């Protein structure tokens, strides 16, 4: 049974990957200029013609798609106009910086949002719940990049206590304190919307659990509130929250691109924005595919963890 579930999730992941490749291929194919956009404009006419032949412009569309897909499956994501290295290598040099930023943000979002959401659910319509409601409404309404600019004006320009951007101060590359100082503002900006969303879900999920019969039974048999919340409510309430955390990822990656741009953080998102601005077609295509594969892989991992949290899932 559990085996069937795992196979099903795996097949879904493959379907999503197939859809991503169809979408990306269609974008390249339908764009004005077509696949020749992927050829470096600095090349001579015969060289461009050579690349177009390799892409198989003269062949039927399905054949072109298969050719393109096999090329990508071999790990060949093309060559950027701007960078001398292959696209995959270029992405790999920037990836760790994005992972630090997004990872720390996700961790902090969960650590803040889950306890606050649980607390709100236990004491609904209390003072804290009401103010958290207002705060989270503002968090999902404020433009990420504007929040970043305001924080830079406040902490870097006016108070001068935090750096306005970058990953480290010159000469202090090995100082942990300096690195952490550079992380504070970007992580704050990137976590804001995620905290609001995870908190809302935790709250409504926990409120649902608190209404269940088994909670009443547990109370009736004399369990203390603390044990009840830890043993029965928390575990059951967290199951849907895991899904939401998985769904956070696409937004986290997009938000990371904006955040990295504001704070001059040398990550993959900023690389994508720079590629888009300088019309580096092969690079932006490569990043889109790379991010899609990464997100699908992450969601697959979340799906695989799921049965460990909720043993009922494999039995369906």
Partner 1 sequence: MDSDFGSSNVMLERARSGSYASRVVRRFGKHRLAVVSLVVLVVLYAFAFLGPFFSRSDSEAVDLGNQLAGISWAHPLGTDESGRDVMIRLMLGGRVSLAVGTFAVLFSLVVGVSVGGLAGFFLGWVDTLLMRFTDGVLAIPAFFVVLCALTFFGSSLMNIILVIGLTSWMGLARLVRGEILSVRQEVYVEAVRALGAQNSSILLRHVLPQVIPTMIVNGTLGVANAILAESALSFLGVGVQPPAASWGNMLSGAQNYLYNAPWLAIYPGMLILLTVLAFNLIGDGLRDATDPTLQ
Helical ranges in 123-267 per DSSP H? 127-141, 144-151, 176-210, 213-220, 225-228, 235-262
Check residue 66 for interaction with partner 1 (CB under 8 A).
no
Nearest distance in Å: CB 284, partner 1: 5
Nearest distance in Å: CB 281, partner 1: 7
CB atoms within 10 A of CB 189: 27
Site for partner 1 in 34-63 (CB under 8 A): 37
**Contact by Cβ (8 Å): 82, 275:** yes
Strand partners, 79: 86
Check residue 65 for interaction with partner 1 (CB under 8 A).
no
Check residue 285 for interaction with partner 1 (CB under 8 A).
yes
Which DSSP state fits 79?
Answer: B
CB atoms within 10 A of CB 136: 23
Which one of the spans 19-27, 57-65, 88-96, 184-192 is the region binding partner 1 (CB under 8 A)? 19-27
The residue among 37 and 104 lying less far from partner 1, judged by its C-beta, is 37
Nearest distance in Å: CB 224, partner 1: 33
Locate 265 and state its tokens: 């953080």
**Contact by Cβ (8 Å): 259, 190:** yes
Q: What is the DSSP string of 142-164?
A: S-HHHHHHHHIIIIIIIS--S-S
Site for partner 1 in 146-165 (CB under 8 A): 146, 149-150, 152-153, 157, 164
Nearest distance in Å: CB 100, partner 1: 19
What residue has token string 């493959």? 14
Q: Select from 49, 218, 273, 313 the one that contacts partner 1 (CB under 8 A).
A: 273
The residue among 31 and 61 lying less far from partner 1, judged by its C-beta, is 31
**Contact by Cβ (8 Å): 87, 77:** yes
Whole-number Å distance between alpha carbons of 76 and 74: 6
Which one of the spans 15-23, 97-105, 203-211, 212-220 is the region binding partner 1 (CB under 8 A)? 15-23
Whole-number Å distance between alpha carbons of 2 and 304: 10
Which one of the spans 183-191, 211-219, 290-298, 306-314 is the region binding partner 1 (CB under 8 A)? 290-298
The residue among 158 and 224 lying less far from partner 1, judged by its C-beta, is 158
The residue among 6 and 276 lying less far from partner 1, judged by its C-beta, is 276
Q: Select from 1, 2, 27, 63 the one that contacts partner 1 (CB under 8 A).
A: 27
Whole-number Å distance between alpha carbons of 312 and 189: 37
Locate 186 and state its tokens: 């970007």
Q: Select from 32, 75, 170, 226 the one that contacts partner 1 (CB under 8 A).
A: 32
The residue among 8 and 230 lying less far from partner 1, judged by its C-beta, is 8
Task: Name, in order, each residue with C-beta under 8 angstroms of 223's C-beta and a sequence gap of 6 or more.
Answer: 231, 232
CB atoms within 10 A of CB 106: 19
Which residues form the interface with partner 1 (CB under 8 A)? Answer: 12, 15-16, 19-20, 23-24, 27-28, 30-32, 37, 137-138, 140-146, 149-150, 152-153, 157, 164, 247, 249-251, 253-255, 257-258, 261-262, 272-273, 275-277, 279, 281, 284-285, 287-288, 291-292, 295-296, 299
């Amino acid at each position: 049974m559990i085996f069937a579930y795992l196979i099903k999730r795996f097949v879904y992941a493959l379907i999503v990957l197939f859809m991503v490749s169809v979408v990306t291929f269609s974008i390249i194919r339908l764009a004005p200029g077509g696949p020749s956009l992927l050829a470096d404009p600095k090349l001579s006419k015969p060289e461009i013609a050579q690349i177009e032949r390799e892409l198989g412009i003269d062949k039927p569309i399905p054949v072109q798609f298969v050719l393109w897909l096999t090329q990508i499956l071999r790990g060949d994501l093309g060559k950027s106009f701007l960078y001398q290295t292959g696209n995959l290598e270029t992405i790999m040099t920037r990836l760790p910086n994005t992972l630090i930023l997004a990872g720390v943000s996700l961790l902090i979002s969960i650590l803040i949002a889950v306890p606050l959401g649980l607390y709100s659910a236990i004491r609904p319509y209390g003072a804290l719940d009401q103010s958290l409601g207002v705060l989270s409404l503002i968090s999902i309404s404020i433009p990420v990049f504007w929040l970043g600019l305001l924080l830079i004006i406040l902490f870097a320009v006016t108070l001068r206590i935090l750096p306005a951007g970058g990953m480290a101060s010159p000469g202090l590359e090995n100082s942990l304190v300096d690195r952490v100082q550079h992380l504070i503002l970007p992580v704050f900006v990137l976590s804001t919307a995620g905290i609001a969303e995870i908190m809302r879900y935790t709250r409504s999920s926990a409120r649902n659990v608190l209404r269940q019969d088994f909670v009443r039974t547990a109370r009736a048999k004399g369990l203390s509130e603390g044990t009840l919340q830890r043993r029965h409510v928390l575990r059951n309430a967290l199951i849907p929250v895991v899904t939401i955390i998985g769904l956070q990822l696409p937004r986290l990656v997009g938000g990371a691109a904006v955040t990295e741009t504001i704070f001059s953080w040398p990550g993959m998102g900023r690389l994508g924005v720079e590629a888009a601005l300088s019309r580096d077609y092969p690079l932006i295509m490569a990043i889109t595919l790379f991010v899609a594969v990464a997100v699908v892989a992450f969601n697959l991992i979340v799906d695989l963890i799921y049965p460990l949290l909720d043993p009922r899932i494999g039995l369906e």
